[in-house]
């Protein structure tokens, strides 16, 4: 296992289309996080899972966003009816421990909405 | 809403100079982490500080957690071009990390 894997790495889409990102965490990690990052800014928390349970969602996560982790392993983040303001880097991270534990990040999925 | 403000936002220096990055909040955090992020990659953990007043050193990097656990600083001695990147502080809040606004450091040879 070489770390957290995200795909696709880049996605260009037209406004109004749906997109889905996938994250494969480090296999023994039970916690999985999604963050959104715009250029030069710090990552903003979106949601996180412990195993298959989604435990918290940010107010940033509108109804157009949905995340799943069906078997407690990989996760998907879907954005419906994309808007130009959704353009950002979507980062996935996993951790073995809870509060205060190290987050291991993937390389991110960059979304551009035209 | 908990905010972690970092200053400065941008820093451009010559190799060999020293610098300090600050991370401030009005909230208390149980622990604070510093990450570095390079272009096209995810953030990578540098250090975790837990105790108020704690100081940790990592080669030329010195990290300090404020006594009240609301602020932190990162000091780099004799910066090198390889230190270039986006430095992020992150406070632990319940079961998630809240990231700071980021400091972009550019070190020129």
- pLDDT tens-digit map of B64-73: 999 999 999 9
Facing A42 at nearest CB: one of B30, B92, B99: B99
In this model, does residue A81 exceed pLDDT 90?
yes
Q: CA–CA separation, A58 vs A39, rounded Å?
A: 20
- When the pLDDT of each residue in chain B is averaged and rounded to a whole number, the result is 93
pLDDT for residue B94: 75
Beta-carbon count within 10 A of A53 CB: 10
Tokens of A74: 């990989």
Q: CA–CA separation, A46 vs B82, rounded Å?
A: 31
Half-sphere exposure in the Cβ direction for A15 (13 Å, CA)? 4
* Mean of pLDDT values over A92-97: 90
Taking an 8 Å cut-off on Cβ atoms, the answer to whether B33 and A102 are in contact is yes
Tokens of B33: 């982490």
Taking an 8 Å cut-off on Cβ atoms, the answer to whether B95 and A56 are in contact is yes
Spell out which residues of chain B touch residue A31, defining contact as CB-CB under 8 Å.
95
pLDDT for residue A78: 97
- Kindly list the distances between the CA atom of residue A103 and the CA atoms of A29, B6, B59, B61, in Å, as whole numbers in the listed order: 10, 20, 22, 20
Taking an 8 Å cut-off on Cβ atoms, the answer to whether A100 and B50 are in contact is yes
B6 interfacial to chain A (CB closer than 8 Å): yes
Check: CB of residue B14 under 8 Å from CB of residue B108: yes
B44 beta partners: B36
B85 interfacial to chain A (CB closer than 8 Å): no
The fraction of chain B above a pLDDT of 90, given in percent, is: 84
pLDDT for residue A1: 54
Spell out which residues of chain B touch residue A2, defining contact as CB-CB under 8 Å.
none
Q: CA–CA separation, A88 vs A92, rounded Å?
A: 13
Taking an 8 Å cut-off on Cβ atoms, the answer to whether B33 and A31 are in contact is no
Cβ-count burial of B16 within 10 angstroms (0-12 exposed, 13-18 middle, 19+ buried)?
A: exposed
B39 interfacial to chain A (CB closer than 8 Å): no
pLDDT for residue B49: 93
* Mean of pLDDT values over A25-30: 91
Number of A:B CB contacts under 8 A? 65
Check: CB of residue B22 under 8 Å from CB of residue B3: no
Tokens of B94: 């319940």
pLDDT for residue B1: 54
Beta-carbon count within 10 A of B2 CB: 11
Spell out which residues of chain A touch residue B101, defining contact as CB-CB under 8 Å.
41-42
In this model, does residue B96 exceed pLDDT 90?
no
Distance to chain A for B42, nearest Cα, Å: 5
Q: CA–CA separation, B22 vs A93, rounded Å?
A: 25
Cβ-count burial of A20 within 10 angstroms (0-12 exposed, 13-18 middle, 19+ buried)?
A: middle
Check: CB of residue A12 under 8 Å from CB of residue A114: yes
Among residues 82-101 of chain A, which lie with CB inside 8 Å of chain B?
91, 93, 98-100
């Amino acid at each position: 296992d070489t770390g957290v894997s995200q795909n696709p790495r880049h996605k260009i889409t037209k406004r109004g289309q749906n997109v889905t990102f996938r994250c494969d965490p480090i296999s023994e990690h039970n916690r999985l996080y999604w963050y959104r990052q715009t250029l030069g800014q710090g990552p903003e928390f979106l949601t996180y899972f412990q195993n298959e349970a989604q435990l918290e969602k940010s107010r940033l996560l509108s109804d157009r966003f949905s995340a799943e982790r069906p078997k407690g392993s990989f996760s998907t983040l879907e954005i419906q009816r994309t808007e130009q303001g959704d353009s950002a880097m979507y980062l996935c991270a996993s951790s073995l421990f809870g509060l205060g534990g190290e987050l291991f990040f993937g390389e991110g999925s960059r979304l551009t909405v035209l | 809403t908990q905010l972690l403000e970092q200053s400065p936002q941008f820093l451009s220096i010559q190799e060999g100079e020293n610098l300090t990055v600050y991370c401030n909040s009005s909230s208390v955090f149980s622990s604070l982490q510093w990450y570095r992020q390079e272009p096209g990659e995810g953030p990578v953990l540098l250090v975790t500080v837990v105790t108020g007043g704690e100081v940790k050193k990592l080669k030329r990097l010195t990290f300090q957690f404020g006594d009240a656990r609301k602020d932190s600083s990162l000091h780099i001695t004799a910066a090198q071009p390889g230190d270039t990147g986006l430095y992020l502080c992150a406070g632990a809040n319940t079961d998630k990390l809240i990231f700071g606004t980021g400091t972009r450091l550019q070190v020129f040879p």
